[in-house]
Structure 1
């Protein structure tokens, strides 16, 4: 049976850093308040004119370089984002052009909010397992600062911009053991951006077109569903918590990450956390964290990784991988 392995990782962060101290001048907040409730100290913000495709291209190129591959080696690009460059073509197609991936390759976007990278990984894994592709570039990229209401302290302190990528390729042994995806559209009102093209081209006054979140309610659902998907994932593979070397969660905030670690009975030393320096980068957060831990040497070949995410939709999912 054809399986899928991660050949390499890559990431990119915009140059500009926004600290909590800078946010103190925008909204009624403090560095201590933000750190205590979220674990975030700073976040990166895309420059004017710097788009999601720019971030994604840089992360994708870094992953290809790490794998020792050329763009001609890629025949599938799956890009997860909630902040695409435009309605169409897809941001993945724009990345294809900028990386000079050959015409005829498959390229498309996936929209699953903060769960987007896990969804994209699942899709690419299925392409490779069924022979639809031989090598895939899977990217999570966001310019989330463009949809923030900078007067809403409940959301603007949380998010940042960035991109992460992995190269997936066919292998004879795992690799990706399994992925598990779920959604519940009934809870849309708790976390959304209440505007879209088919609802009208003109933004109304107020926060329409910006992130709206009922944080306490989202937190409760996230902790419950992430705990369940962790159990589901381990049971599907006949593994126990002791088999997991690293938990790489969506970097929503430190409290949700710590709650998931407790569910796994993992010490925080086995949780890859970049939320302090990146904030919540939505679909980019897991591949960003993965790349950081690969490049600093924490994650080694042969170790078992558990990826899990929760996002608007609601969507949630996991992937169990032997790196």
Structure 2
């Protein structure tokens, strides 16, 4: 038995935060500077009462409609998020009820960020090959905007909110091949929200504004950009080479590379370091931003609209954790 991606859809909230909006908030940051550095013109932001689970439900409903999927066929839910509605119960259980799926359907959450889509494909493939499930609803959804301090111009220019939904099944348009996965928890504090969970339950109220007028607080997302950049340049080339090796392929066998859409500056560095031709390297973030675990499925969805999903496609996710993972999709010609 094999595992395939059978359909992908995604959902964006209504509120849009453009570079012009950011320039009005932070006059020292002009539109050209933001766009040229991060490669993003606008990003979508969830409303105050809109949660990641709300967006997950909307993405799943879009998937069902756009791909003519019978809800009764779903026998498992995988839900990737780092912004759950509750510590418990599991959000995937609530999603099962909201979508009206059968109570015989298995459901679980897993907490991963930028590598989450690749890890979810690995979990889904394992469930299918073991005979546990045949049609898996795999959802990613994040509301990182709720973790950002209002004065955090750097991260507000990068991150957007979004959700994706994929059907992983025993047939489809893209066969999921072999994986390479990795973890280095020593980098955990370079991308972190320190308070709110069990270790530091209460807010620290320790906000500091540095000489660049950037906020630092345990109560909001902290990202040490230089460390993340160094980790990425070190690990991702090795990841890509390992993915090719475990699939018995070389660069010339690959038709397209789809990486986690972190930011344009980072992606261009990776592309050049790996000597990937621009036409082989798909980027889609200008109009959505860095949507964490949803960047790869959104990019795949858009590449499919452009009829670029054919042959062998390398996926690579990397980031918070540190965590990284890659695989190859073998798409129908």
Interval of TM-score (by shorter of Structure 1 and Structure 2): over 0.9
Label 1:215 to 1:173 Cα distance change in 2 as closer, same or farther (>3 A): closer
> C-alpha distance in 2, partners of 1:292/1:103?
33
**Of residues 260, 284, 294 in structure 2, which corresponds to 1:274?**
284
> C-alpha distance in 1, partners of 2:191/2:173?
39
> C-alpha distance in 1, partners of 2:271/2:200?
42
* Residue 312, structure 1, aligned to residue 311, structure 2: no
1:278 aligns to what SS in structure 2? Answer: coil
* Residue 283, structure 1, aligned to residue 282, structure 2: no
Within a 5 Å distance, the mapping from 1:138-157 to structure 2 comes to 138-157=138-157
Match of 1:15 in 2: 14
Give unpaired runs (5+ residues) of structure 1: none
> C-alpha distance in 1, partners of 2:163/2:155?
20
> C-alpha distance in 2, partners of 1:274/1:222?
19
- TM-score when scaled to structure 2? 0.91
Match of 1:243 in 2: 253
Match of 1:132 in 2: 132
Retained in 2: the 8 A contact 1:75–1:136? yes
Label 1:53 to 1:183 Cα distance change in 2 as closer, same or farther (>3 A): same
> C-alpha distance in 2, partners of 1:99/1:153?
37
Give unpaired runs (5+ residues) of structure 2: 208-216
> C-alpha distance in 2, partners of 1:144/1:174?
29
1:64 aligns to what SS in structure 2? Answer: helix
Match of 2:219 in 1: 209
Retained in 2: the 8 A contact 1:10–1:61? no
Per the TM alignment, residue 173 of structure 1 is displaced from its structure 2 partner at its CA by 11
Match of 1:177 in 2: 177
> C-alpha distance in 1, partners of 2:220/2:145?
10
1:275 aligns to what SS in structure 2? Answer: coil
Aligned length: 320
* Residue 219, structure 1, aligned to residue 229, structure 2: yes
2:115 aligns to what SS in structure 1? Answer: helix
> C-alpha distance in 2, partners of 1:295/1:96?
29
1:34 aligns to what SS in structure 2? Answer: helix
> C-alpha distance in 2, partners of 1:131/1:259?
41
Deviations 1:14-49 (CA, angstroms, capped at 9, x unpaired):
111110111123334221221222111110011231
Retained in 2: the 8 A contact 1:52–1:91? no
Per the TM alignment, residue 321 of structure 1 is displaced from its structure 2 partner at its CA by 0.9
Match of 2:41 in 1: 41
Computed over aligned residues only, the root mean square deviation of the Cα atoms, in angstroms, reads: 1.8
